[in-house]
Amino acid sequence: MEEALKEAKKGRLHILNEMAKAIDTNGVISDSVPKTKNFTVPKEKIREIIGPGGAMIREICDATGAKIDISDKGDVSIFAIGQENLLAAENKIKLIAIDPKVGEIFEGLVVKIIDSGVFVRFYGNKDGFVHISEIHEKRIEKISDHIEIGQKVTVKLIGFDRGKAKLTIKNASNDNINNDSESNGKNRSKTFEKRKKFF
């Protein structure tokens, strides 16, 4: 993780140099000047954000073109060209840093079907399990008659079992959905800002 933090710092210094170049002699900031965003994440989430060997943070950087610096205290600095790329990187990090809450409703994607239920990717890269009894109000015998892999479903987080998310489809509502896409991070930004002072 230390090596990944060093690499992120080098990237930050590079972006700062590019920012200086983007300011012309009249002091006018070019449209291409990188934008920055600073916030704090829980220290226990740093390793998860960086990922094994820095894989996760590299994936975020590659997907958004952003440079990300994370201190060992959880202070995050994002540098990206364009507001859209900046927000995309921020949202990807917050999807990792903020855990979903019981009772929240999401749009998810069915990624695996087994005899006892289905696995749904509902929050960033997080998967949850829907037991066969939580799929339909009526008893069903064969899941594949009702659901297929790749299908989008509305799910509700009803609890955790040894750290694994338990979901329901039959008791989910279309009201107040938190999308599993990038907008999920946007929808929860205010919640994050309110909670970060306790980190």
* CATH number for position 72: 3.30.1370.10
- Tell me what pLDDT residue 14 has: 58
- Tell me what pLDDT residue 2 has: 59
- Tell me what pLDDT residue 7 has: 60
Q: Answer yes or no: do 41 and 59 share one domain.
A: yes
Residue 151's domain comprises 105-179
- Tell me what pLDDT residue 186 has: 47
- Tell me what pLDDT residue 125 has: 81
- Using alpha carbons, select from 101, 90, 150 the residue that is nearest to residue 123: 101
Q: Is residue 154 part of a domain?
A: yes
In this structure, how many other beta carbons lie within 10 angstroms of the beta carbon of residue 107?
Answer: 19
Q: How far apart are CA 154 and CA 70, in angstroms?
A: 34
Per-residue pLDDT of the chain (199 residues; tens, 9 = 90+): 656 555 655 655 555 565 555 555 455 555 567 789 999 999 999 999 999 999 999 999 999 999 999 999 999 999 999 889 999 999 999 999 988 999 999 999 999 999 999 999 999 888 999 999 999 989 998 999 999 999 999 999 999 998 899 999 998 865 555 554 444 444 444 444 433 332 2
- Tell me what pLDDT residue 18 has: 56
- Give 17's contacts (C-beta < 8 A, 6+ positions apart): none
Q: Is residue 82 part of a domain?
A: yes
Q: Answer yes or no: do 38 and 75 share one domain.
A: yes
pTM summary value = 0.61
- Tell me what pLDDT residue 147 has: 94
- Tell me what pLDDT residue 22 has: 52
- Tell me what pLDDT residue 25 has: 46
Q: Which of 36, 66, 97 is the last residue of a domain?
A: 97
Report whether 179 contacts 84 (CB < 8 A).
Answer: no
- Tell me what pLDDT residue 52 has: 93
- Look at the chain and report how many structural domains it folds into: 2
Which CA distances in Å does 139 have to 113, 133, 135?
17, 7, 9
- Tell me what pLDDT residue 183 has: 45
Q: How far apart are CA 91 and CA 4, in angstroms?
A: 20
Q: Answer yes or no: do 122 and 46 share one domain.
A: no
The alpha carbon of residue 164 and the mean position of all alpha carbons in its chain are separated, in whole angstroms, by 17
Q: Which of 97, 123, 155 is the last residue of a domain?
A: 97
Q: How far apart are CA 166 and CA 129, in angstroms?
A: 5
- Tell me what pLDDT residue 67 has: 94
| 117 phi, psi to nearest 5 deg | 165, -165
- Tell me what pLDDT residue 124 has: 82
